[in-house]
Each structure stands twice: as C-alpha cells, then as structure tokens.
Amino acid sequence: MRSVATWLKRSATIVTGALLTSLCMAVAPATAQAASTFNVGQQNILYTLSFEQFKHDFAQILTRTHMVGLNEVSQRKDYLKQWAANNNWHFYAPGTGAASANALMANKNFFDVITQGSKYHCDSNVAGSGGARYTNWVLYRHIATGRQVYHLHTHAYSRIDNNGHPSDDPNITCAEYHFLQLRQMAVDKRQRGEVIVTGDLNVDYVNDRRVRYQKFPFITLENGLATLPALRSTYSIYGVKGTGTHGDRHIDYIYHWRRLNEYRKIFVQDYYILGGTYSDHNGVVANYQIVA
C-alpha cells in the first residue's frame, strides 16, 4: 500500500497541474452563446480492493468530476446507490449481472436524468472472462444550458490487445463486435443530443494508433482521425499524458462525438491522468465546455 504521505504529495501535484492546465489551455468556442463547463471522469476501481481502499479511489474521482463512469463496481452497488441518494447525485447500474459492474453517476446540480438504459453486446462464454459485455447509458439534460447529453459507459474484455495487434484470446471476436456496436450507439444517439463515451477498453491507445488494426478502437471508433463528424478521444485531441492508466498503457478512455465546426456545441478543453489510486488503474478526468 502506498504511504499516506506519498499519496498526498502525488495528489497535490496532480491537482495543481490540472488547475494550471485548465487555466492555460481553456479555449472559448467561436460563439457568442452562453457557455458552461463540467468535468467527466473514467475510473476502473479494482473489485478486489478492500472497502477502505475502494472508498479512497471513489472519493478521489468523484471530488474532481460532475459526470463519471466506474468499472468493476457491482459488489459496491448498494453503497454507491446510497451514497448518491445522500449526496445529490444520480446513479445508474442496472440489474445484478455483468451490466451492474459499470456504473454511471452525475451531479444533480449539473444534470437532470431524461431516460436511461443498457445494451447487451455479446458473451464469449469463456470461463473467468467476467461475463457478457454491455454498454450502459443515460440521457441527461444539462441544467445550465438545456442541452441534452448522452453518457455511454462500457468495459471491454481484457487480454485482447497484443501490442496493438489482436491477440489469440477467445474473447477477441466478441470484443471486436463490442467496439463496432459501441460506435453505432454513438451514431444513433447523436441525433438527439451530444454524446460522451467512457470506458476501460483494454486496448492501448499508443499501440493501437501505430498498428491501426481495423477492428480496434482507433479505427472503429475514431475512424483513424480521417474525417468528421466522428468520435474523438482526449488522447487524439491532446496527446497521451502521464505514464498510462494501467501500467504504461493508456486503456481507459473518454470520447465525445465531435461534429463539424459549424454545428459543435461541446468542446473538450483538456484532460489529465489521475494517479494516486489503490486500484491497478489510474483515472482520467476531462474538462468540457458546452454552449446553449
């Protein structure tokens, strides 16, 4: 376990850096319309952590965000649901099966819930793989601007990425289909609102962009940065930062549907990697600006 002193030192450095980055790099959209900002987070909290370790990592990401996606939290669902009720947050993690491991939360001072749901993708039926794959989603109304914002949150199978190439793991076919369907969900939902996607995709961004395997996220979700409109990750817009989100790999993502400039209503201002976790994953926090 990391010492408290080490964690406090790292956390102070992270927060200071994030504030400086936000001040120096925030760029106002080319519009005279009223704008508002909010932070989005992605955090996989290892399910084997002790309850105290879990609460530490949960508090660390929640205090920095207004909308967040959490992975591997099905065993903590009752705690999260009660915490949300007591602290003015929305909470959604459906059922008791594999879908319940992926929770979406949002601050009620920033967002109202319009509707929510969950989409089943596939199940490789491989022992020890964590069960079927789902994407959970919530459609929010951003209170300050009235804009509708979808949050899609998911978790792909592990062991599918071999330095940017598909591994020979039996989960690979299901994972590729998962990515394809995730993109289609974003395409379909952009008709009704802005779209933000978070998740642990278990594919390293750096190697994926280098290899450009057609069925992995860089091509499937971001169309290789070829054209807009399309999904765009914070890594593609601002480059990779930190040492990674899982060891030296950047596998935890925040995307948004980036429209053509004349139609854009949401802008990612910057992001940072949130370290100091007990989990085997660091978090990701992105700052967004949205206009009325």
Q: What is the pLDDT of residues 25-66, one digit of tens each?
A: 444 454 456 789 999 999 999 999 999 999 999 999 999 999
CB 195, CB 152: distance < 8 Å: yes
More confident residue, 125 or 272: 272
Buried b (16+ CB within 10 A) or exposed e, 200-236: bbbbbbbbbbebebeebbbbbbbeeeeeeebbbbbbb
Q: How far apart are CA 137 and CA 121, in angstroms?
A: 13
Write down the mean pLDDT value for the chain: 91
What is the pLDDT at residue 129? 78
Split at pLDDT 50, 70, 90, the class of 14 is very low
List the one residue out of 114, 4, 17 whose CA is nearest residue 64.
17
What is the pLDDT at residue 33? 65
Taking residues 166-187, report their average pLDDT: 97
More confident residue, 22 or 132: 132
More confident residue, 13 or 95: 95
What is the pLDDT at residue 4? 39
Count of helix runs (H) and strand runs (E) in the chain? 7, 14
Taking residues 239-259, report their average pLDDT: 97
For the ranges 43-47, 96-100, 179-183, 226-230, the lowest mean pLDDT is seen at: 96-100
What is the pLDDT at residue 25? 41
Pairing label, strands 111-122, 165-166: unpaired
List the one residue out of 24, 17, 54, 42 whose CA is nearest residue 201.
42
What is the pLDDT at residue 15? 41
Strands of the chain (E only): list them: 35-44, 67-71, 89-92, 103-107, 111-122, 133-142, 148-155, 161-162, 165-166, 194-200, 230-233, 252-258, 266-274, 283-291
Q: What percent of the chain has pLDDT over 70?
A: 89
Which position has the token pair 């591997």?
Answer: 72
pTM of the predicted model as reported, rounded to 2 decimal places: 0.88
Q: How far apart are CA 209 and CA 21, in angstroms?
A: 25
Is pLDDT of 137 > 90? yes
| Domains (range + CATH), the chain | 4-291 (3.60.10.10)
List the one residue out of 200, 164, 196 whose CA is nearest residue 179.
200
Q: What percent of the chain has pLDDT over 90?
A: 85
Phi, psi dihedrals of residue 126, rounded to the nearest 5°: -100, 125
